């Protein structure tokens, strides 16, 4: 089984071709549309959901079988015909034209595989078993969807704003320091809706070299906060 390189693709305005008109093909449409892809679906038959998507102008539906040349101009394609020899022809065309291809339930003919997704805007987690067990990937998605760790996604807005300010001012910040400013206290501010205050704290801590409890080395950090800060708090509690 191949080793896959995990990557997020920018599909805005890119041409995507879906071959097949069943439930699996229908299930691909929403995520590809959300990513901004321009979708052409090719199949002689289609589900009601696909027909509605075509009627609403969300996709172009070509009501026919796959033909050689259907991947011309495509950036990415999904083969969901459920017919092995047709999927094989699609694979061979994709390989010849350098089109990224996912052949459903056949990782040996895929140049990419679609992971299970856990989303807490604007954070997205992608889970893959490398094609070994899609069921396991789905199970992990279900578990992670309820995991407390996803609450950290609520800090993305404040951190993103602070990052833009740092870029605009062309400041040089030790990347390790970003890790150190992500604390429970900061998360609580974001959860209360005090994002501007959170941004101010982030910027102050990033730029102040005199804060003694901040980590200077990422190896000193740990999940849940800075080890050095935790040690200082423990010492304060004892005294």
CA neighbor of 78 nearest in space, from 67, 89, 87, 68: 87
What is the pLDDT confidence band of residue 107, given thresholds at 50, 70 and 90? Answer: confident
Residue ranges of domains in the chain, CATH in brackets: 1-114 (3.40.50.720), 115-146 (3.30.160), 152-238 (no CATH)
Output the pLDDT for position 232.
60
Task: Decide: pTM greater than 0.95.
Answer: no
Q: How many Cα atoms occupy the beta-carbon half-sphere of 97 within 13 Å? A: 19
Output the pLDDT for position 192.
92
- Determine what percent of the chain is predicted with pLDDT higher than 90: 55
Quick: pLDDT tens for 120-144: 888 888 888 877 888 898 899 888 8
Q: Which residue has the higher pLDDT, 149 or 17?
A: 17
Looking at the predicted structure, is the pLDDT value of residue 32 above 90? yes
Burial state string for 169-198 with b = 16 or more CB within 10 A and e = fewer than 16: eeeeeeeebbbbbbbeebbebbeeeebeeb
DSSP per residue, 140-152: HHHHHHT-GGGGG
Quick: pLDDT tens for 182-233: 888 999 999 999 999 999 999 988 887 666 666 655 555 555 556 666 666 6
Strand 60-62 and strand 123-127: the pairing is: unpaired
- As given in the structure block, the two tokens for residue 15 are 């041409």
- CA separation for the pair 66, 38 (Å, rounded): 18
* Interior angle at CA 171, CA 170 and CA 177, nearest 5: 140
What is the pLDDT confidence band of residue 84, given thresholds at 50, 70 and 90? Answer: very high
């Amino acid at each position: 089984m191949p080793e896959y390189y995990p990557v997020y693709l920018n599909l805005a305005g890119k041409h995507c071709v879906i071959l097949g008109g069943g439930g699996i093909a229908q299930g691909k449409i929403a995520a590809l549309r959300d990513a901004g892809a321009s979708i052409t679906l090719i199949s002689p038959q289609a589900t009601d959901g696909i027909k509605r998507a075509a009627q609403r102008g969300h996709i172009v539906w070509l009501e026919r079988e796959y033909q050689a040349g259907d991947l011309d101009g495509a950036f990415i394609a999904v083969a969901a015909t459920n017919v092995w020899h047709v999927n094989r022809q699609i694979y061979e065309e994709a390989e010849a034209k350098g089109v990224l291809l996912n052949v459903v339930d056949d990782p040996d003919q895929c140049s990419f595989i679609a992971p299970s997704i856990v989303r807490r805007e604007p954070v997205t987690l992608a889970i893959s078993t490398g094609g070994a067990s899609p069921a396991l990937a789905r199970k992990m998605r279900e578990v992670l969807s309820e995991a407390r760790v996803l609450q950290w996604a609520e800090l993305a807005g404040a951190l993103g704003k602070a990052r833009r300010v740092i870029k605009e001012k062309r400041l040089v910040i030790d990347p390790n320091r970003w890790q150190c400013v992500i604390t429970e206290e900061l998360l609580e501010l974001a959860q209360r809706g005090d994002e501007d205050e959170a941004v101010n704290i982030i910027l102050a801590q990033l730029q102040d070299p005199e804060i003694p409890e901040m980590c200077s080395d990422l190896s000193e950090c740990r999940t849940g906060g800075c080890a050095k800060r935790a040690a200082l708090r423990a010492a304060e509690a004892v005294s």
